[in-house]
Structure 1
Amino acid sequence: MKGKTIFLGILGLILVAMIGAFAYYGGFTKISPEIIQCGGETLVYEKMTGDYAQSAIVSDRVYQNLIDDHGIETTKGFGIYYDNPKTKEKSTLRSDVGCILETDFDKLDAIRADFEVSEYPLGEYLVAEFPNRGMSSVILGIIKVYPALERYVEENGYESDTPVMEIWDVPNKKITYRKQLIKRG
């Protein structure tokens, strides 16, 4: 009887720890997409073809190069994902991955020698936010946010196969998702 009680106690502790971790990484966060006027950021990036799971490696490479070669430290990374991984082969997925430049705009010419540089278009986007507390938040965000964005566009007459931008805001500990909006014709 004592062994059974200990086993149930340990099982209970594991369950509480799992629920706590799920909550900490954003598992209980309510996703409320809304249309917001935004954009205008200066993007420094590499074009990437292949599995979106490689985004962190590319983002880190851009970040480190900006520090090492240009003396610029950024606080926001991003990925713009052009293809739906449910309908395209992983090896053909297209994205732009890098950092958002918030200072040192006088160094853009030198940066262009190493990376692509562009300004993200101003416009109305479908936007949702999610906590960023590590890789588990990124995974939970994919699981929770993308379906909420898809539901919104389907229910409101927008195209579903449009690019999504993720902004990984380190100081504010959040991930912002922006979906391009195009009305169905």
Structure 2
Amino acid sequence: MLNAQTLAAVSTALGVGACIWLLAVNGLFKRLTIEKKKFGPYLLFYKNHVGPYKEVGPIFHDICKMAMQHGVSHNRKCGIYFDNPETTPGQECRSSIAVIAKEGKSIGTAAGLKEARTEMEGHPLATEHGLQVGYFPESLCHSLEFPFHGMLSILLGIMRCYPRLKQSLKSLEPCKVMGSLEVYDTNSHMMFITFPVDARDDMLPFDAKSKTH
């Protein structure tokens, strides 16, 4: 029969093991390899937000809830974060929070994009709930792949990925990098933290005074 001291030691070991397993599943020990790959094109239902990035969680929740109510998939979501929170006051940080409604070849042509965009602009998510419709073109990105299982993996991803990506961007002109793009894929349980480096004409940094949510 195990004595109290042995039971305490076993309990502690199990607790430590569970913590290590949880951290491992959420990416603490994941090997990071930066890839230069293309993301998009995406058509988005989105809201703009001005304020600390830690506040965007409820916005994601609200948009996904609205999407689900209207039969729009919310399995792939994204956030575009325009300002560097290390140099920009939290209350001035701008972001666009979105569900990816359409992507890929169906919107890869001008005609396909126009048709899909017109359809989305007449959708209840836009006309009744006030979500904006935005187009994120196919863009070359510096990207890291990371597990996506919830808030812990998001925090670990931010902590581990951004320093590596910023190091890889030092050789680029600052004006070429218009914020970061984070794509969250519920089906694959993966997130992609990226910096797009191609020029684009949509989903740009917005006027914080006139385009808040």
- TM category (shorter chain) comes to 0.7 to 0.9
Mapped partners of 1:129, 1:54: distance in 2: 23
- Code of the residue aligned with 1:134 in structure 2: it is G
| Equivalent runs, 1:146-185 vs 2, <5 Å | 146-154=162-170, 157-159=171-173, 162-181=178-197
2:149 to 133, 137, 140: 133
Report the AA paired with residue 181 of structure 1. V
Unaligned runs of 5+ residues in structure 1 are none
Partners of 2:49 and 2:84 in 1: CA distance = 15
User: Aligned partner of 1:171: which letter?
Assistant: N
- Equivalent residues in 2 for 1:18-37 (5 A)? 18-37=19-38
Structure 2-normalised TM-score?
Answer: 0.75
SS across alignment from 1:91: helix
Q: Secondary structure at the match of 2:192?
A: strand
**Aligned amino acid, residue 122 of structure 2:** A
Partner Cα separation in structure 1 for residue 68 and residue 49 of structure 2: 21
Specify every segment of 5 or more residues in structure 2 that has no aligned partner in the other structure, as ranges: 104-114, 199-213
1:119 aligned residue: 135
Q: In percent, how many aligned pairs have the same letter?
A: 24
Q: CA deviation at 1:159?
A: 4.5
Partner of 1:83: 83
Q: Which shows bigger deviation, 158-167 or 2-11?
A: 2-11
Give the counterpart letter for 2:45 in structure 1.
V
Q: For 2:63, what is the secondary structure of its paired residue?
A: helix
Aligned to 1:109: 121
Query: Is the Cα–Cα contact under 8 Å of residues 44 and 102 in structure 2 kept in the other structure?
Result: no
Would you say the 8 A contact 1:40–1:122 is kept in 2? yes
Between stretches 127-136 and 96-105, larger displacement belongs to 96-105
* TM superposition shift of 1:31: 1.3
Query: In the alignment, residue 65 of structure 1 is paired with which amino acid?
Result: M
CA contact (8 A) 1:43 1:100 kept: yes
What's the TM-score once normalised by structure 1's chain length? 0.86
The match for 2:161 is: 145
> What is residue 12 of structure 1 aligned with on the other side?
13
RMSD, aligned α-carbons: 2.2
Aligned to 1:42: 43
Q: d(CA) in 2 for partners of 1:29 and 1:107?
A: 41
- Inter-partner Cα distance in structure 1 for 2:46 and 2:158: 21
SS of aligned partner of 1:85: coil
Cα contact 1:37–1:125 (8 A) shared by 2:
yes
Q: Could you tell me how far 1:4 is from its partner in structure 2?
A: 4.2
